[in-house]
């Protein structure tokens, strides 16, 4: 038994105790060997901080802006699926916690609560995550609903032409509940005798032909800013900037799609250098500590997104658990900034960290 958690990792243990094994495995698991799942977290641990001393840090300001919206700290809530598997009220509870913490939640396309239910739950800036299905009119309808309900941006996930092979879900024969946002729009039944029905469903619905020109199509059907999530190379970052996206999310889908991709923190700087300040860059994957957030900001991220920690907080303690997770990360970031000589997020520079490559190079 874990007592009162003192860090985000301890919430994972509480969630493991609280959730049925099938649902815990669904949230916690990654693709195939889960190499990238481990690496997303461990890569942060190989980056060292270079603190500066004798700086006035009597006041620490963690606030920043995302697409012009002010948030209390550079921590957003990543889109994660089906929160009702973790808590009876699902995404409505997560949304209230995000609003209380004065940050932005990205509502998942595969949420258990509708776009409308989350919008009416509380007053806050929210973004909507979009998958593009083979039936393009589904995307168009959901974009219109998001616009109508006051969502401020679209986050298009682009790393899912096929569904990653998540072996725990296959073994558990994971069955997904119906997606509330798609009621009346989609009538595909995806039964699978030999594994996860989520995988079978996704492979029937996902549009494997989605390509760069379709970002132009999306821009033509909405006035909302479009961010793309799933960029892992400088080459794709340049293309994203060229097609006019409003932001780039460096993400490997929480290591749930293609195993043996690099940890997101390891490719962040390549993406940042490629876009040369033309668009803001965000990072998700493996963030478990305030020091992780500091390192991501030093390497050029405008903010990070947290996925699993939010789910673990929700499963363990509901709205209060999500609030606690965000507050823990904020408290840790605040002390990291103070001890590193950075009174505000704009004071965090590349010179504040040393990567593993730099350390090895220094030894040669």
**29 annotated as ligand-binding:** no
For the annotated catalytic residues, the residue numbers are: 253
**108 annotated as ligand-binding:** yes
**251 annotated as ligand-binding:** yes
**12 annotated as ligand-binding:** no
26, 174 in Cβ contact below 8 A? yes
**308 annotated as ligand-binding:** yes
3-state per-residue secondary structure call for the chain: CCCCCCCHHHHHHHHHHHCCHHHHHHHHCCCCCCHHHHHHHHHHHHCEECCCCCCCCCCCECCEEECCEEECCCEEECCCCCHHHCCCCCHHHHHHHHHHCCCCEEECCCCCCCHHHHHHHCCCCEEEEECCECCHHHHHHHHHHHHHCCCCCEEEECCCCCCCCCHHHHHHCCCCCCCHHHCCCCCCCCCCCCCCHHHHHHHHHECCCCCHHHHHHHHHHCCCCEEEEEECCHHHHHHHHHCCCCEEEECCHHHCCCCCCCCHHHHHHHHHHHHCCCCCEEEECCCCCHHHHHHHHHCCCCEEEECHHHHHHHHHHHHHHHHHHHHHHHHHHHHHHHHHCCCEHHHCCHHHEECHHHHHHHHC
**20 annotated as ligand-binding:** no
**129 annotated as ligand-binding:** yes
Q: Compute how many other C-beta atoms are within 10 angstroms of the C-beta atom of residue 179.
A: 19
How far apart are the C-alpha atoms of 109 and 129, rounded to whole Å? 5
**220 annotated as ligand-binding:** no
**166 annotated as ligand-binding:** yes
**341 annotated as ligand-binding:** no
**285 annotated as ligand-binding:** yes
**229 annotated as ligand-binding:** yes
**79 annotated as ligand-binding:** yes
**157 annotated as ligand-binding:** yes
**244 annotated as ligand-binding:** no
**253 annotated as ligand-binding:** yes
Annotated binding-site members for glyoxylate: 131, 166, 253, 256
Annotated binding-site members: 79-81, 108, 129, 131, 157, 166, 229, 251, 253, 256, 284-288, 307-308
Annotated binding-site members for FMN: 79-81, 108, 129, 157, 229, 251, 284-288, 307-308
């Amino acid at each position: 038994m874990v007592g009162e958690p003192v860090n985000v990792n301890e919430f994972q243990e509480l969630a493991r105790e609280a959730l049925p094994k099938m649902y815990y495995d669904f949230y916690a698991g990654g693709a195939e060997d889960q190499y990238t799942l481990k690496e997303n977290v461990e890569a942060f641990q190989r980056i060292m901080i270079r603190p500066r001393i004798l700086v006035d840090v009597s006041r620490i300001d963690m606030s920043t802006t995302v697409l012009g919206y002010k948030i209390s700290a550079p921590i957003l809530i990543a889109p994660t699926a089906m929160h009702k598997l973790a808590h009876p009220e699902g995404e409505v509870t997560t949304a209230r916690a995000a609003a209380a913490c004065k940050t932005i939640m990205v509502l998942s396309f595969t949420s258990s609560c509708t776009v409308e239910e989350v919008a009416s739950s509380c007053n806050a800036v929210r973004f909507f995550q979009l998958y593009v299905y083979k039936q393009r009119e589904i995307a168009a309808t959901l974009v219109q609903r998001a616009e109508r309900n006051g969502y401020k941006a679209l986050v298009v996930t682009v790393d899912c032409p096929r569904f990653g092979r998540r072996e725990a879900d296959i073994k558990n024969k994971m069955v997904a509940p119906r997606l509330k946002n798609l009621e009346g729009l989609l009538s595909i039944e995806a039964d699978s005798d030999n594994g996860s029905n989520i995988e079978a469903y996704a492979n029937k619905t996902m549009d494997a032909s989605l390509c760069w020109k379709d970002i132009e199509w999306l821009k033509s059907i909405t006035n909302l800013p479009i961010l793309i999530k799933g960029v892992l190379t400088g080459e794709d970052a340049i293309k994203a900037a060229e097609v006019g996206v409003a932001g780039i999310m460096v993400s490997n889908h929480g290591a749930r799609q293609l195993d043996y991709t690099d940890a997101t923190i390891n490719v962040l700087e390549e993406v940042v250098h490629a876009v040369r300040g033309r668009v803001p860059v965000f990072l998700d994957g493996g963030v478990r500590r305030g020091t992780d957030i500091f390192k991501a900001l030093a390497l050029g991220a405008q903010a990070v997104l947290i996925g699993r920690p939010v789910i673990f907080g929700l499963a363990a303690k509901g709205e209060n658990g999500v609030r606690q997770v965000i507050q823990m990360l904020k408290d840790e970031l605040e002390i990291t900034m103070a001890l590193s000589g950075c009174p505000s997020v704009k004071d965090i520079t590349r010179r504040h960290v040393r990567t593993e490559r730099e350390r090895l190079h220094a030894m040669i």
